[in-house]
Structure 1
């Protein structure tokens, strides 16, 4: 049965040059042994090539290891035809009466020449995406990072026409999942949903995290931003009604007040440590296995204060179980606009925002990267997605494409040296 081809690429140098000669650079359909592939010819093979001892002609036979397998013709306005038949049948179909030249013997020199000629072509990528895409979440199911990834996955799959699967790889403060994403091929089929801690903090607190944010990842978009709120238990500390009052109490009792966090290197830990350093006060750190149990202990009166996540603390503040003193964000929180920021409360240069970002592997082909950025932007700016992310108690105003990557790099440059100077480490 006839099939459409542009050329046949085989092992012998003469025949390779014959098959490729006269073909313009660009995609060509070829047969390599039993496989059919679309290749991209990076440069034309000139007819004067030292291995092209005769010009390719319509109906000229092409041989593999001395066995005639068909006829190759240069491309026309429509795909050239290739008959998988014997030499005599090929000649009959093509109208050629010439006797095919005998195949030259295969030698080490001819194979080396063939390899050099074949270096002019490279496999063309199939239309992307042609298989499912995965989003690695470096935390357990049910948390904010996981929820954000799942909110995005469904509409992204609809836009790309392929399944988008969320894969949870928790452990080591997100380092295990991030390292797994860093080992993936940079082909656009593996993305990772991380945040300020995975992309910035881990670069400072882990000696060997198994990945490097600047080297391994490129941000497609920052999905949301949130902030920690400095909160106290009003029953335990009824007089602490402002940030200034809190700092004064901490200075009066150096090292005595206790605070909780989701663990060493967590956003709450980093935010607190940086503020203590900025304000010139000290306190005792009590790490927990997650932010929720730490907030619960603050509500229960077992801790003195905490920079708790907005989504964790606002319900308790609204109910009167906690008192919010200040938010660590650049601007007042949309979910609690009556709460002043730390910057407004006497520390104008202090702001730490917790952002989530969807990233691809650095080195992903530019056309794939462009498609991902375009579709991720469409998803993050859609009202249904923004509404669902806002319902989590965070700011769903996205930062897209290059500005998102610029922010990640700027935060790396700012915070990694400061965290190291503060002596915060998981080692």
Structure 2
């Protein structure tokens, strides 16, 4: 198959489906191959049309995916619409490209990890229909395993421990006219039930703690002798505040509820270093995974700077990355979230984007390397399509390199505009 691929790539322009590139002829300017040429050489198309009767099916297959009929025009070579390498200016900003600003100073209102205590969210796709039945073993993929550390088995064993979380006691809620009303509460895993009396068998109300955050409120004086110690549960569309008469009892409830929700401290798992970049909603910081010593990238986003649509797009990207486990796609390692911030931990790619990688080499790389890069990107796209995922924002800026060496590998990133396409849907 590789030999056949190279033969097709090397055909001369007198063939109706060949690409005539004048990159090796002296005195002629180099050009970037037209998408029409790449379409005929696509590894995905060849994989799907490699059969005896399938000569020329590559173009038809891709055209079918694109929803447009194949024409004779698709087989033509380079024309005036192709971009000459000389037209790229190193100092000229690329149209439609948002540069990553490297942060060298800490702004007063920039997101920090001071409030690093957050809910440690699942970082892999959940197959169980009921989230209540999921344990740490089937909702968490060990970052230690991916980063390659000796503590991987121990970490997975610790994560898979199943313990029933339970607690009960008296708390107060504010009723009408700010009167305090006492209830007996029982916590069982992710369910908090309220009873009118301690010995009642039937609960009065029940709340589920999935997708809930917790906030400790300032103490409130009740009278000259007593003080109220409140905390709030923050639901997606409301808040509920509970009051206790001692700080110790509040701390007990807060500890148990945080345990039930799944709170953890980001800094227990990662050492947070200096900022390495700044995006639209926050900062990207360099981090170090404590168990392996490997570098990671920590994206810190402030929710107040995001609209509801922005948050939904970000959560869609997270859900897609949970599904994707492929060497040509950036790896999601951890997700933490509280009422103020979202922390996304991903593998650290220090090679910059594909455009800058090629620009540093004057857009001249060996043919074998070009073929290797194209193939890696293509199989990553094919992997996404096998799950019905359309990236919808593929460009050199959204392909990052593992490093800046000649052996660097490309990885697809930025799935904010991606979509999981159903059988009857369109992108």
Band of TM-score, shorter chain: under 0.3
- Name whichever structure is richer in helix by fraction: 1
TM-score by length of 2: 0.22
TM-score by length of 1: 0.22
Which of 1 and 2 has higher RCO (CA within 8 Å, sep 6+)?
Answer: 1
Larger Rg: 1
